[in-house]
């Protein structure tokens, strides 16, 4: 009869693999090199989402970023590491042919430097299942991509639902598979949800999974892109741009054919960048928020959804503070509450405040 000591041990390869990677804090080495794709905005081997309302310019912005990566040209005064780009134009290729032609006409140097490194796949793909993601990988596996753009999430979700946790989980799994297969950055273009304070549309697991979240808002003729989430980079950065029309030619009826290119702008020219304090009842609302933050403000240690250097307060406590400040008003309570809701919306549009899950905070001290 064999004893326990004489028994042959069953190997566990995964245990040996984990053991080989176990390291003490003393043996860690700091790498001071910057692993960026677009410095200060997008790191390599990460996932980002650029979202906004329809027609806000988010796809034009994504193509502009993709073109600068393919060309190795600085983007919005930020350094770029050149690399091949795959753009999954799942909303169709006809519009993108015009957009590329507009870049060629307006900025031929950028076009010539990016043309060979930027590849388009102008067909709808389904990343809800496994077939299409494996087909895309097989199609391009011999190439070395630095950036893959998925435009849009809605058009690549297939039969899945953006709001279903299991469907979104499968979608994210496929996006991560693309990232790991090519050791590249994957950028997803998406739409805003009904509640802007909660970010991009769909299940919250998307926001938890991405490293970078960029919101694009229209501000008159200007557009502003804001980094609302950066896992390892600085939060809150902004760039402004406009969409400049470019005439490409004429159709058979003599009507002009046009498209747009991204034109960098100064943030100071945007109304949302004007930080003059609001007036009238809106100023009272802002003062009420400052009072509520002073009395009941607290930090929520949830880096995915809240700033770590700002106190937040529940919107109901803010409303209570506002109602107290309007006690002497002759207006009816229902009217004051309706006005309060208008002020909340306006202050958020002007970038004085941000909110998430009924909690509010000031963007700047």
The pLDDT assigned to 11 comes to 66
Class of domain 275-362: mainly alpha
Structural domain spans, the chain: 36-272, 275-362
The pLDDT assigned to 325 comes to 83
The pLDDT assigned to 349 comes to 79
Tens digits of pLDDT across the chain (365 residues) = 556 566 566 667 888 888 888 888 888 877 666 789 999 999 999 999 999 988 889 999 999 999 999 999 999 999 999 999 999 998 766 778 999 999 999 999 999 999 999 999 999 999 998 899 999 999 888 889 999 999 989 999 999 999 899 999 999 999 999 999 999 999 999 998 766 656 688 888 998 899 999 999 987 778 999 999 998 888 889 999 999 988 999 889 888 888 999 999 988 766 655 556 677 888 888 888 988 998 889 988 876 677 777 789 999 999 998 888 887 777 788 888 888 999 888 888 777 888 888 899 887 65
The pLDDT assigned to 148 comes to 97
Q: Which helix (H) or strand (E) holds 129?
A: none
pLDDT tens per residue, range 154-168: 999 999 999 899 999
User: Tokens 């700091």 map to which residue?
Assistant: 30
The β-bridge partners of 149 are: 87, 187
Residue 192 is given by DSSP the state B
Instruction: Measure Cα distances from 92 to 75, 88, 120, 128, 259 in Å.
Output: 25, 9, 10, 19, 15
The pLDDT assigned to 81 comes to 96
Q: Residue 22: exposed, middle, or buried by beta-carbon count in 10 A (0-12, 13-18, 19+)?
A: exposed
Looking at the domain 36-272, which fold is it?
A: Rossmann fold (3.40.50)
d(CA 193, CA 202): 7
């Amino acid at each position: 009869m064999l004893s326990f000591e004489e028994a042959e041990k069953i190997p566990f390869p995964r245990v040996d693999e984990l053991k080989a990677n176990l390291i003490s804090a003393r043996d860690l080495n700091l790498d001071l090199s910057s692993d960026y794709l677009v410095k200060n905005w997008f790191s390599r081997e990460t996932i980002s989402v650029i979202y906004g309302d329809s027609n806000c310019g988010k796809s034009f912005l994504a193509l502009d970023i993709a073109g600068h990566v393919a060309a190795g040209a600085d983007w919005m005064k930020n350094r770029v590491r050149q690399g091949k780009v795959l753009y999954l134009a799942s909303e169709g290729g006809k519009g993108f042919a015009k957009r590329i032609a507009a870049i060629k006409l307006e900025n031929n140097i950028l076009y010539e430097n990016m043309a060979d490194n930027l590849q388009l796949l102008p067909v709808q793909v389904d990343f809800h299942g496994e077939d299409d993601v494996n087909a895309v990988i097989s199609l391009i596996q011999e190439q070395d991509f630095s950036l893959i753009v998925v435009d849009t999430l809605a058009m690549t979700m297939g039969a899945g639902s953006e709001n279903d946790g299991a469907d979104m989980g499968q979608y994210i799994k496929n996006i991560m598979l693309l990232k790991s297969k090519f050791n590249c950055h994957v950028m997803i273009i998406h739409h805003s949800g009904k509640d802007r304070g909660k970010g991009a549309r769909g299940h919250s697991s998307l926001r938890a999974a991405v490293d970078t979240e960029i919101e694009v808002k229209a501000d008159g003729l200007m557009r502003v892109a804001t980094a609302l989430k950066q896992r390892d980079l600085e939060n809150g950065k902004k760039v402004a741009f406009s969409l400049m029309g470019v005439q490409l030619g004429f159709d058979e009826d003599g009507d002009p054919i046009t498209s747009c290119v991204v034109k960098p702008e100064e943030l100071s020219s945007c109304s949302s960048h004007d930080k003059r304090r609001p007036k009238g009842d809106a100023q009272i609302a802002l003062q009420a928020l400052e009072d509520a933050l002073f009395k009941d403000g607290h930090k929520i240690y949830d880096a995915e959804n809240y700033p770590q250097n700002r106190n937040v307060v529940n919107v109901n406590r803010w409303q209570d503070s506002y109602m107290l400040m309007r006690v002497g008003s002759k207006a009816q309570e229902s009217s004051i509450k309706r006005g309060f809701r208008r002020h909340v919306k306006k202050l958020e549009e002007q970038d004085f405040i941000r909110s998430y899950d009924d909690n509010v905070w000031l963007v700047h001290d």
